[in-house]
Amino acid sequence: MAAALALAVAGCGGDDGGEKTAKTPSSEKSGSSDGKQQDTAAGEQTDPNAKLAVLKGADSMEYTVTSVVRDNGGFVTVTGQMKNTGSENFYGVPSWRGNEKEILLGSGDAVSGGTLVDQQGKKRYYVLRDTEGRCLCSTGISKIEAGKSIPVFMQFPAPPEGTSQVNLSIPTFDSVAIKISG
């Protein structure tokens, strides 16, 4: 156990080459020898290369959902890759924010406008916020270079236990049905 902790701490360091990257919920994932990630809260394997769903967006943007996990704390975390499939850099991140006043003040360049819709329960779930109004989602996204991908996550309140499928929406993207694991 101590060796695994030492490796995990050592793996957290490193130089990102000075590039600003999106923050991800690194505390929720741990690597494994087969290249897959394990959600330590739910104990489930998730493959970062899996394609559970692809949302097509404006300006040649695509969001590929790689995991949708319900954890024991009453949250659902959606993880994936945001890719610029175009030939020019993308700077339209502000269009992905919601329109609530606290979102505009606290979340900056983020995917804080994402929602989950439970069609069965007729309820919409918004990206969670901390006590200062900042989203529990990837932030600090100022641009996405042409042809590049960045990791993007959003955390939502969990729908009731019996709900296993929801629709994911991000402003300027198509909506898509996704299945919740865990």
pLDDT at 94: 72
pLDDT at 42: 37
The answer to whether the beta carbons of residues 118 and 95 sit under 8 Å apart is no
The secondary structure of the chain, three-state, reads CHHHHHHHHHHHCCCCCCCCCCCCCHHHEEECCCCCEEECCCCEEECCCCCCEEEEECCCEEEEEEEEEECCCCEEEEEEEEEECCCCCECCHHHHCCCCHHHHHHCCCCCCCCEEEECCCCEEEECCECCCCCECECCCCCCECCCCEEEEEEEEECCCCCCCEEEEECCCECCEEEECEC
Could you give the percent of the chain with pLDDT greater than 70? 66
- Dihedral, 5, 32, 41, 20 alpha carbons, nearest 10: 80
pLDDT at 106: 46
pLDDT at 134: 84
pLDDT at 180: 95
Q: What is the pLDDT of residues 102-153, one digit of tens each?
A: 444 445 578 888 999 999 999 999 999 988 888 899 988 888 999 999 999 9
Residues of the chain scoring pLDDT < 70: 1-49, 97-108
The answer to whether the beta carbons of residues 153 and 34 sit under 8 Å apart is no
pTM above 0.75, yes or no: no
pLDDT at 147: 96
pLDDT at 50: 79
